[in-house]
Structure 1
């Protein structure tokens, strides 16, 4: 028999949050569909923008931008919530 304490729950488990952490990606735009809120980068990656994401009115192909988004595990990435022109 062991004298080690027996925990009926995980200690400190309530201290950890399960919220997503923001990630960022940067790239040069080769296509931007303002109506569909979709950006395609030079590396052929396709990014959806959240409907509330502020986008400069003069954004166009050739611009380099940084997108902020949240990962959604095995489901990929959620729509980008921030866009900053580099």
Structure 2
């Protein structure tokens, strides 16, 4: 019974990674540092494996799909799509 309660407690506090997405306008993009700044001034560190459109520039509208760790923030940016 204690083992079952311990397992239930661990599952209750474990937070799964959640996929999410955001859309916005690119304010600035540093291709060498893999950093993108959106129009709302949020700064995103891109994953080195993230495919980035070759012609991405400031002013472009993009959709980013990322993995969220809940309240702890962003685990990784998985996809960047130019709209």
Normalising by structure 2, what TM-score?
Answer: 0.78
What is the alpha-carbon distance in structure 1 between the residues aligned to residue 53 and residue 70 of structure 2? 29
TM-score (structure 1 length as normaliser): 0.75
Structure with the larger helix share: 2
Counting matched residue pairs gives 79
Corresponding residue of 1:75: 72
Please list the CA deviations of residues 51-85 of structure 1 after superposition, one character each: whole Å capped at 9, or x if unmatched. Answer: 10101111000000011111123431123110111
Runs of 4+ aligned structure 1 residues displaced above 6 Å come to: none
Q: Highest CA radius of gyration, 1 or 2? A: 1
The answer to whether 1:50 aligns with 2:47 is yes
Q: Over aligned residue pairs, what C-alpha RMSD do you find?
A: 2.5
